[in-house]
Amino acid sequence: MTEHGVVGFTGPDRPDAAIYDTCIRCGLCLPSCPTYLETMTETSGPRGRISLIKAVGESRLDLLSPGFVEQMWECLDCRACEAACPSGVHYGQLIETARAQIQRVKSSEQAPRSGRLRRFALQTLFSRLDLMRTAAVLLRLAQQTRLTAFAGLVGAARAAQLAPKISREFFVPRDQHYAAAEPHGTAFLHAGCIMQVAFAGVHRATVRMLRHGGLNVVVPSGQGCCGGIALHAGEMEFARELAKRNIEAFERSAADVYVVNAAGCGSALKEYGELFAADGDWAERAAHFSKRVRDVTEVLDALDLGAPARGLDAVVTYQDPCHLAHAQRVSGAPRRLLGQIPQLRLVEMEESAVCCGSAGIYSLTQPEMAARLQRRKIEAVIRTAATVVATANPGCAMQLAAGLRDAGYRAGVKHVVELLADAYAPES
Ligand code: SF4
Ligand code: SF4
């Protein structure tokens, strides 16, 4: 025990020494790290954070020392460093387990009340999607009556500003089955949490495109939240509870592929195998499940879509969601798909793969850094003169829309699959 009382990592879900010892301190990851680019400070970059994790792992630094805790939460968990690292340091494992260690100690010993309250709020919202839908109905009412203008009075101005426009009709998983004309397989559609209430149109566009490509689509009711937000918040046990639902729902469905259209969810779903690696009962099922998860752009890129029914007259720039480009290493498929739409001019923005500052609930927990990264991204968008910003993740869409609004720049924000559906399978 030292000044703050906790030395080293303990219990399950520890940062793996075999991973942090792989770092050769070359610094090649630094130019990819958004917080390093903004601060030019060693501790605000991946190499500095890995050193801090190693120091705690070797009991040279307290787990709850302010500098360590601050850096574990200033990191966006965007994984850009991981994609850039020539030594193959699996940084995502390090940051997520370091946070899990902090959260476990905080909620059990140091600050039991606030820790438990936070956990309760997280668990209620993401395991009870019926409650999330009720909250979304109330938010939609507030948005329609412009009551959100008063959010500042109750200290929720930032949340109201970032909140997505709630969909008129939700997309709730209720064992729907959408048949393709000449099917050659069946896709399980992951409905997610926020996607069902605020991006229902993206799900409908996904169904249209998958059917157009010859896949039946099923939306089983037993599925739920992917657990990504819980993972990033250091709540690994809760993430495992959520993951089990999706694994079981997919096994019951007998679908060929598990399709996801939210990059953050896709990354979490593809890593269930690692999440359960030490669990004898679930390891094999989780690994089998993860092998069948695909982002919708990967699926569509591999299908014969034929020629689009119509072109789209737009200047489009594509924002790489971190958890698609870095965690899943998917960046070519969305661009290839957009490039096939007649009249659409695809213009690359600078730093497309640098995080926009959304990163799950980061824009709420680290508002200053999130706002800096948001401005950096919007300036890059404006330089392209785009009329549409395409992306593939709800968090990015919300952050981009709010940033464009603040900057007074008129451009739409669309999911790639919405643009594809407009061109290939327009609604009659
Ligand atoms: S690129 Fe990899 S090995 Fe080099 S400093 Fe970054 S994490 Fe370490
Ligand atoms: S995950 Fe992102 S923010 Fe965190 S250290 Fe790596 S590049 Fe930087």
Q: Give the tokens for residue 235.
A: 């709540």
Nearest to 164 by CA among 417, 405, 399: 399
pLDDT value of residue 1: 45
Chain-centroid distance, C-alpha 94: 18
Q: Is the pLDDT of residue 153 over 60?
A: no
For the cut 80, the answer to whether the pLDDT of residue 108 exceeds it is no
**Looking at the DSSP assignment, which residues form a beta bridge with residue 390?**
318, 414
280 or 48, higher pLDDT: 48
pLDDT (tens digit, 9 = 90+) per residue, 179-236?
Answer: 999 999 999 999 999 999 999 999 999 999 999 999 999 999 999 999 998 998 888 9
Average pLDDT over residues 40-62: 97
Residue nearest to atom 8 of ligand 2 (CA): 33
What is the arithmetic mean of pLDDT over 364-386? 96
C-beta 99 within 6 A of ligand 2: no
Q: Decide if pLDDT at 118 tops 80.
A: no
Amino acid making up residue 307: A
- From ligand 2's centre to the CA of 30, what distance in Å? 9
Q: E-assigned strands of 246-292?
A: 257-260
Find the ligand nearest to 327 CA.
2
The pTM score is 0.92
Determine the pLDDT at residue 147. 65
**For residues 194 and 201, is the Cβ–Cβ distance under 8 A?**
no
Are 335 and 341 in contact by the 8 Å Cβ rule? The answer is no
Ligand 1 touching residue 382 (CB < 6 A): no
pLDDT in tens, 407-419: 999 999 999 999 9
CB 191 within 8 A of CB 246: no
Question: Tokens 């190693």 identify what position?
Answer: 54
Tell me the three state secondary structure of residue 343: coil
Question: Is the beta carbon of 25 within 6 A of some atom in ligand 1?
Answer: yes
